[in-house]
A and B are shown apart, each in its own frame.
Chain A
Amino acid sequence: MRGLFVILSSLVVISLAYWVYNENYATQEKLREISTLQRDIGLQREELAVLKAEWAYLNRPDRLRNLAVINYDYLGLLPIAPEQFSSVDSIGAYVEKLEDSLGLSQGEVEGDERREGEVR
């Protein structure tokens, strides 16, 4: 009885020791992984800051304005002006013009338009 107890408990101790050994190495492996990840995160953040700065530099208003002027033929962009504001009433005429140019039949769109008008 006593012998059996000694054998059993030593088996338990051995298996526990094995488990701790394993866990220890698994933990160290994870820690290494974490530090690699954190270094990567740091590098990525650094890169992100550089990209943000570059983005801001490429989007500086002076440059965009010059680009808009150079590419006026393609873009037709002008500075926003008060004349470009319009009232809701004038949208109808614009839609009609658009429909004509697209060759849509009058009926289909008009129904939608009326419904939208009612909601407003």
Chain B
Amino acid sequence: MSERIPLRPLASILSARNNGQNPDLIEKQNLKIRHSKMRDKARLQSEGRLLVLGMAFVSAFIVVGLRMFSVATTLPEEPRAAATGTPILAQRADIIDREGRILATNRITHSLYAQPHEMLDPLHSAKSLAKIFPELNEEKLIKDFTGTRKFLWVKKKIAPEQLQAVHDIGEPGLLFGPREERLYPNGRLASHILGGAKFGREGVLSAEIIGQSGIERAKDDYLRNPANGDKPLQLSIDLAVQSTLREVMHSGMRHLDAKGAAGVIMDVYSGEILAMSSLPDFDPNSRPKYFTGNNPSDNPRFNRAVQGVYELGSTFKIFTAAQAMELGLAQPETLIPATPPFRWGKHRIGEFEGHNYGPTLSLSDMIIKSSNVATAHIAKEIGVERHQDFMKRLGFFDATGVELSEAASARPLLPPHWSELSTLTISFGHGLSASPLHLTTAYASLLNGGHKVQPTLIKRADEEGMAQGERIIREEVSKAAREMLRQVVSSPSGTASFAEVSGYRVAGKTGTADKPRENGRGYYDDKTITTFASVFPADDPKYVVVVTLDEPKETTGERVRRTAGWTAVPVAGEVIRRTAPILGVRPEVASEFQSALRLTSN
């Protein structure tokens, strides 16, 4: 700041006073000068700032402009020098089983399209094409090739030898587009799990593959994500177990003349599904398109294990028994009245084939002999609300949530008005329809020590698999339930003695339900759905196996047998006998000493 000039310099004021002028004018004058100086300085400062800012902008625009110029004038080029391990990414990620064996992969094929205006000899081409592809109509091809169309697809997928044959026609108007095709090397195996894929939007150079059903559709986002091109989706399925399950069920179905069959093998702790099969099945490589029948369960694409909701019969009794033990209403030895019929209003509940197990049965015997009457007595004690709540916690109120596109809509059929009678009948498995997968999940939750499991088709990491769900029943109750189920198989009077596989200590419960008529009026007398739900080994549970057969008939005896004990049980027994060694479960060929050791260690 320069020297400050006084506003009222004494000399000027005095001389002004002497001249009789107003000295204030001098002050005003001086103030004016001072202000104009301050203004000039401020202007100079802001002009400088503007200049700097302007220069910054100009240089930024120059940089952007130069960059745009250089981008616009150079040729596009891949960064070739970069050392990349860039894999040629598959368009869709593979699907592998838990051991890494391929369940679904991609294959390069070609599509064939035509540009008629480029053609030299359309008639000859049409004729030759009709010869190579018998399914093409020659007249229609001629019409297409000589018409006004500029472009048409001839075939979506052609084999290499067909490609060569078309090449040999030598027609420039016939062109090939590369295609990736979904390939299921194992054919029918696991067809319902994998589902299938189809082409989405199609272009000349490529076509989208989108999942059509099953896990291909449920996990479509993952499989299509280019970032996952080299990261296959690993399922919990074991190919060897799946193959064995299908083989055994297929032969069982043939022997018993059944219409269909469903089987599930699940890890009792993690809920991983190791094998799931539904018969009849289809080949996902050439997925059947339309189904013309009336009954959806006749459709080979119908997944009985997940979508087929059936009344599962007496397999439900163990839930009632377990809840009674959990609530402290009964112990395995508690005696329960069992004289038929059980009356509720005008309804009468009897035993299968008019048996009478009365006057009393212990809770264990109720399960072993499969008594409807005793189960109804227990259910009455439990009451509607508690029973409903327990069934809900076992997952019988919701869809299973397994990773299949069909699973979300496969909800159990509950009675529209849940009365006390509903509770009584559901306690022994009638009046509530659920899928075999629901039953498998509930058995796993009940028998693994009492922790709820979430069924899954995706392989779980080890630590994740060990994470325990919500507790449903106490550990001791779970153990007691297993012991009861073990007796169903091991005791000579049990209903499932055919499932006794030496060394594997199978525990399970049979269920036979009459098939409801399609018109909704009552039940068939001669059509049953038989189910066997089991767990093994009983003292150290590892796997749950559920087998369901649709309309089986066992005809070796004097009369046709349709109960689970004669149909589903032997099939399930064979499934366990064949799959357990593959699953790595060692049979216990126990000497007395070893079994004593086991008991104490438990």
Contact = CB atoms under 8 A, between A and B. Distances in A.
Interface of A: 27, 30-31, 34-35, 38, 41-42, 45-46, 49-50, 52-53, 56-57, 59-62, 65, 79-82, 84-85, 87
Contacts of A85: 503, 581, 586-587, 589
Interface in B220-267: 239-240, 243-244, 247
Interface string B497-515: 0000111100000000000
B587 A82 contact: yes
Contacts of A59: 101
11 contacts: A30-B81, A31-B80, A50-B108, A53-B107, A53-B183, A57-B183, A61-B240, A65-B247, A80-B581, A82-B587, A85-B589
Interface residues of B, number: 35
Contact of A35 (B80, B107, B504): B80
Query: Which of B84, B90, B185, B580 has the largest number of chain A CB atoms within 10 A?
Result: B185
Which of A38, A53, A81 lies at the interface centre, i.e. has the most chain B CB atoms within 10 A of its CB?
A53
B189 A62 contact: yes
Nearest to A44: B88
Contacts of B108: 46, 50
Given A45-B88, A50-B108, A87-B589, A82 B580 contact: yes
Contacts of B527: none
Contacts of B520: none
A86 B186 CA distance: 33
B80 A34 contact: yes
Given A46-B88, A80-B582, A85-B586, A31 B102 contact: no
Contacts of B578: 79-81
B185 A49 contact: no
Interface string B169-192: 000000000000001011101000
Contact of A82 (B101, B247, B502): B502
A53 B240 CA distance: 18
Contact of B503 (A31, A50, A82): A82
B577 interface: yes
Contact of B239 (A35, A41, A46, A61): A61
Given A50-B108, A62-B243, A81 B186 contact: no
Contacts of B587: 82, 85
A58 B205 CA distance: 30
B416 interface: no
A30 B80 CA distance: 10
Given A53-B185, A57-B185, A61-B239, A81 B577 contact: yes
A25 to B, nearest CB: 15
Interface in B316-347: none
A84 B580 CA distance: 12
Contacts of A81: 577-578, 581
Contacts of B189: 60-62
A56 B100 CA distance: 11
